[in-house]
């Protein structure tokens, strides 16, 4: 089996109360708006793209930021 040089895109799912998480993100990053943080099930990539552009960060950085605000898995 050959290893592909392309990094696979990490699947991302929003867990927990997104309203509470988005409020925390807006407090920490004042440049984010309700429109930037609008979440629709199945459109996680759209959400990530908006936040990436607004914060000028890479996808993995944005995922890490969001994961910090998600509840711990038990």
Tell me which of 69 and 28 has the higher pLDDT: 28
CA–CA distance, 17 with 7 (Å, rounded to integer): 30
Domain ranges in the chain are: 18-68
Q: How confident is the model at residue 57, as a pLDDT?
A: 96
The pLDDT of residue 38: 95
Phi and psi at residue 70, to the nearest 5°: -90, 150
| pLDDT mean over 44-52 | 95
Of 26, 74, 73, nearest to 54 by C-alpha is 26
Q: Looking at the whole model, is its pTM more than 0.75?
A: yes
Query: Which conformational region is residue 2 in: left (phi greater than 0), alpha (psi within -120 to 50 degrees), or beta?
Result: beta
pLDDT at 16: 86
pLDDT at residue 64 above 60?
Answer: yes
Residue with tokens 């944005």: 62
Q: Are 55 and 31 in contact (CB under 8 A)?
A: yes
């Amino acid at each position: 089996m050959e290893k592909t040089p392309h990094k696979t895109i990490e699947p991302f799912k929003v867990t927990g109360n997104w309203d509470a998480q988005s409020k925390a993100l807006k407090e920490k990053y004042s440049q984010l708006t309700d429109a930037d943080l609008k979440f629709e099930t199945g459109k996680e990539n759209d959400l990530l793209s908006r936040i990436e552009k607004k914060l000028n960060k890479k996808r993995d950085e944005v995922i890490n930021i969001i994961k910090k605000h998600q509840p711990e898995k038990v």
